[in-house]
Amino acid sequence: MHRVPTFAAVLAAKVGRLAKVKQLHTSVPPPLYTASMFARKIRVEYDNAGTLTPAPIHWIDNFAMRSFTNDQIFDDTLPIADGLIEIGTRVPIDLLHDRLTDWFRRKGYLGATGVLRLTEL
């Protein structure tokens, strides 16, 4: 004959499983975002009448927030401050330079002859 477990027995079993799950999740430290995804710091500067000037963060953020490239590789970009962006290890700097330059020109931030410089720190 099939025995139906009591409510107390079912509840005790669920609480026991939840405690084990909680213990598993709390024993693993949370990953650091800079440890892998945003591992490289890049200085972003443009030529402003002969002087290299940090690109304003809103320029960089505008690029990072738009998915105009349709390229998932740029999901690994994080604007930090004026002239500073963190990128993942999969982001090729040459391609980032080309796409940033193109985007800044489209937005009117950088003139047709303007020069953008990216430097890995």
Residue 79 covered by a domain = yes
Residue 13 covered by a domain = no
Residue 111 covered by a domain = yes
Please say whether the beta carbons of 116 and 53 come within 8 A: no
Residue 22 covered by a domain = no
Residue 77 covered by a domain = yes
Please tell me the pTM assigned to this model: 0.67
Q: What is the pLDDT of residues 25-55, one digit of tens each?
A: 555 555 555 455 668 999 999 998 889 999 9
Residue 54 covered by a domain = yes
Residue 86 covered by a domain = yes
Reference 102, options 54, 61, 68; nearest CA is: 68
pLDDT at 118 over 60: yes
- Give the DSSP H/E element, type plus range, for residue 69: none
User: What tokens does 2 get?
Assistant: 């099939």
* Overall number of domains in the chain: 1
Residue 87 covered by a domain = yes
Whole domain around residue 90: which residue ranges?
A: 40-120
Distances (CA, A) of 66 to 21, 25, 33, 77, 119: 38, 34, 21, 11, 22
